[in-house]
Every structure is written in C-alpha cells, then in structure tokens.
Structure 1
Amino acid sequence: MRASLIQIAVNPDESVDARRRRAAALVRDESASDLVVLPELWPVGAFAYEAFATDAEPLRGPTYEAMAAAAADAGVWLHAGSFVERDGEALYNTSLVFSPGGELVCSYRKIHRFGFDQGEAVLMSAGSELVVAPHPELPFGLATCYDLRFPELFRGLVDAGAAAFVIPAGWPERRREHWSLLARARAVENQAYVLACGTAGAHAGVEQAGHSVVVDPWGEVLAEAGRTEEVLTVTLDPERVPETRASFPALKDRVLGPRAPH
C-alpha cells in the first residue's frame, strides 16, 4: 500500500481558511495513495496558543467538512492531522480519520498535553481513549506529537490490534534528534510501522523540525523528509508486520503491563 505524509508549512501570513483550502488541495493531489496523513494542529500552529480559543471548531466544523470532501474526492483513507476542537467550554487537540468515501471513521483526543503546566497543558483538556483506525490492510493506532514520549500508550495500541502508528506532530527543531530517535524506538519495540508527520515553517515563532519519517517494523527508516514543505511518499508491505513479529517474537515475552488475551 502507498502512504503519503504531507509536511505542510504553517505560515503566519496565511489565513486559517486559506491553509485549509490548500491542505485540501494537497490531499486531492495524492489520489494515487491509499493513506494520506497531515500533521498536528496545521490550521493554527501547535505553538500558537493565543489562537486556540478563537480558532477552535466543533468536531464537525469547517476542518471536518473540508477534509471529508478531500478524502472523498481523492478516494483515500485520510488521517487529517489534528485541529483545536471545542466541546462546550473544553478544548481538545483532536485528530480525525476519514474513509475513502469521506465518512468519519474515528477521532482521537490527544492524551498527553505538552507544556509543563503552561501552553497546551493548561489550555486544552486531555483525551482518555486509545483509538485504532480499522484500515483493511494496516490497522493503525492514533497518537499525537508529545504522546510519542510515552511508550505505554503504544503498547496499549498494540494490544488493541495496531500494526502501525500514525503520529501527526508539531515538533520543534531544537528537539529534532528526540523525534527521530523516538519514532524508531516505537517501531522497534512494538514491531510496527511508524508514520510520523511533522510540519515545516514556524508556529508562533517556534521553528519546526520537519523531518517527517516512515519507519518499518524492524526499525529501518524507509523515507525521511527535510525541513521544508514536501510530500513524503512510501510503499508499505502490510505483511512485514506479522512476518517481523513471527521471526523475532519478542512481544510474547512481555511480563509487565496489560496484554490482550490469547
């Protein structure tokens, strides 16, 4: 199967509406792919804290409508990155996954909020549910940016049936080495594909790392982007996951933590 990660640039001079239209056009351009991925909080920027409340949307708001239409037009599975969702008085960092028909398959509210008692950590509420998108060839678990630092989340996704992880992010350039290291670690320890899609440009003055990356279940980097806006496309073999888990069955030796029943 063919997957495309759209490492879109967040330009402060571009309006949210204009970027939404541009992102939809980029998705439509990837009609040859089976799965298309956008990054974290691309409508507003992951560090544009002052815009969170003003640009927040309901779940089925403008971003939902634009991405549902783009997925249907392109005929692709679309992980539409994340946006600021408003639910009553609460804000969430929410990801949406659409089917090739444009139907909402699932959504995920980011569990681990970044900021150490400031920024996202205080402005947004935390999600609480693990989510696996039921892609027919490669079921993928949903995680977002800072979630990448918490391996127990990914173990839970494996127990829920994930053969891959899709991780949109707004990861800063100054911690880019952590991004690359953790993406490979999550792939190796869970024997799963990792599709980690970052942004280019700057979010509220915070330079972004870019370097979207696709890692296979053995930890090999299949493709990696640079720092500027680009589309990273790679071919995945879904059989690689069960083959890796069978040839090196480390997951069966787990002792600590919950496991799915045999």
Structure 2
Amino acid sequence: MRASLIQLSVNSSDSAEDRRDRAASLVRGRAGDDLVVLPELWTAGAWAYDRWEHDAEGLDGPTAEVMSAAAREAGVWLHAGSIVERDTNGTLYNSALLFDRAGVLRGHYRKIHRYGFDTGEATLMGGGRDIVTVSTDFGVIGLAICYDLRFPELFRGLLDAGAELIVVPAAWPAARLGHWQLLTRTRALEEQVFLLACDAVGTHGGMQQAGHSTVVDAWGTVLGEAGTAEEVVTADLDVAHVARIRSELPVLRDRVLGIEAPMGRHSN
C-alpha cells in the first residue's frame, strides 16, 4: 500500500475556507494512493484558541463535506486530521475523521488526552473516552492525536484492539521537535506497528509548528520524514511486515499484565 502525509502550512492569516480548498486540492492530487493523512486541527489552528468557537462544526459540517468529496474523487482512504467538533450539547472536542474510498465516514475519534494543563485544550474541550480502530482493505488502523503520543497505555490499547497501523495527526511545536522524533519511533517500535504521524508547519496562535511528519515501520525505522515546509511525504508499506516482525521478535508475547507495586515496601 502507498501512504502519503500532507504536511500543511497553517498560518494565522489563513481562513478555514482557504485551508479546506487547499487541502482538498492536495488530496485530489494523491489519486492512486491508498491512504492520505492531514494534520491536527488544520482548519481552525491548534493553537488559535480564540477561533475554536467560531470554527467549530459537526461531523456533517463543511470540513467533513469537503473531505468526503475529496476522498471519493481521489479514491483514497482519507484521514482528514482533526476538527473542532461541536456536539449536540455544545461541548467542543478535538475529533479525528477517517473516510473510506467512497467518502463514507468510517472512523471518528475524540482525543482522549487534552494538552494545556490548566489552559487551552485542557479547559476548552471535552475529552474522549473510547479507543478507536477501523478495518480497511489494507489493514487495521488505530487512531490517536498529537499529545496522545506521550501516553503509551493508549497505544497498547490500540494494539490490543488489533491495530497494525496507527495514524497520529498533530500540531507539534518546533520547540519540542526532539520529543516528537523520539516518541514517534518509540511508539512504533514498542507496539510493532507502522506509525504515520502528520504534523503541521507554519505559525498560528503564536506557536511555530515543528513539521517533520514521519512514517516509521514496526522495527522503528524511519521510512520517510519531511522538513519544515509544506510538503508531502509518501511511503510504500507492506502491512505483512507487521506480522513478520512480531513473529521474528515476539516481545509482545512476553507481556506480563496486572503487576502492582506492594504497598508500604521500598527497596534501596
């Protein structure tokens, strides 16, 4: 299978409509690929908190409509990054959308781990509760978003749910590029999956994005990595590689579950 990460430039001067038009054009240009991926919150800007209420939309909103059409026209599975979703109760979520080749929404994941501590996403958005995987014609995809990379238990849950590829749209800041590069390789290696991590570039909300979108295989080898400009990273993946790696180095078989530290006992 062939996968492409579209590392969009997301700048404060862009409108959501302009970004949708540009993203749709780039997706349509990937006809012949199997999977295309966009970054996190690229319509509103992941750090532009003041735009979230204005640009929030439903799962049948303008971004979903445009991305569904782009997936259908290109004949690709499209992970449309994430949007600011407003549910029927008015709660905002950072939600990833996965469309099939016919443009049907097949996966919807609400980000579980919200960044910001006591500000931003952590206070303005609700948190998801569900682990989400989707079966495709080339393998089982697990869904995660940006800050989720710092929480290995989610990725182990995706593994247990059958994931062979995990897609991570992001708006990772340039100041922590080293963490991005380390965590993407680590999550792929420890779960023995393909990991496709699509970051944004540009500056919005005062935050410069790291770029360096990357595709990592189940051995932890980087198969493709972008720089810091708007570009497309494409890699040919053999999903059967996942089963081979898990067979040749069966570390997942040796997991020991239910380990608890004894209360009140310490060892020097």
Cα distance in structure 2, aligned partners of 1:240 and 1:143: 21
Which residue number in structure 1 is paired with residue 125 of structure 2?
124
Cα distance in structure 2, aligned partners of 1:119 and 1:15: 20
**Secondary structure at the counterpart of residue 138 of structure 2:** coil
1:45 aligns with 2:32: no
Cα distance in structure 1, aligned partners of 2:136 and 2:184: 21
The CA deviation string for residues 161-196 of structure 1, in whole angstroms up to 9 with x for no partner, is 001110000000000000000000001100000000
Choose 1 or 2 for highest CA Rg: 2
1:11: Cα distance to partner? 1.9
1:181 aligns with 2:173: no
After superposing on structure 2, the runs of 4+ consecutive aligned residues of structure 1 that deviate more than 6 Å are: none
Cα distance in structure 1, aligned partners of 2:128 and 2:177: 25
Which residue number in structure 1 is paired with residue 82 of structure 2?
82
Cα distance in structure 1, aligned partners of 2:235 and 2:203: 26
Which residue number in structure 2 is paired with residue 146 of structure 1?
147
**Secondary structure at the counterpart of residue 57 of structure 2:** coil
RMSD of equivalent CA atoms: 1.0
Which residue number in structure 2 is paired with residue 17 of structure 1?
17
Instruction: Mark the CA change 1:66 to 1:254 in structure 2 (over 3 Å): closer, same or farther.
Output: same
The CA deviation string for residues 86-121 of structure 1, in whole angstroms up to 9 with x for no partner, is 012200000100000000101000000000111000
1:203: Cα distance to partner? 2.2
1:161 aligns with 2:143: no
Cα distance in structure 2, aligned partners of 1:218 and 1:199: 25
The alignment covers a number of residue pairs equal to 258
1:257: Cα distance to partner? 5.4
1:136: Cα distance to partner? 2.1
1:54: Cα distance to partner? 1.2
Cα distance in structure 1, aligned partners of 2:55 and 2:45: 11
**Between the two proteins, what is the percent identity of the paired residues?**
58
**Secondary structure at the counterpart of residue 10 of structure 1:** coil
Q: Which amino acid aligns with 2:132?
A: V
Cα distance in structure 2, aligned partners of 1:257 and 1:175: 33
Cα distance in structure 1, aligned partners of 2:203 and 2:13: 11
Q: Please, which runs of 5 or more residues in structure 2 have no aligned partner?
A: 260-268
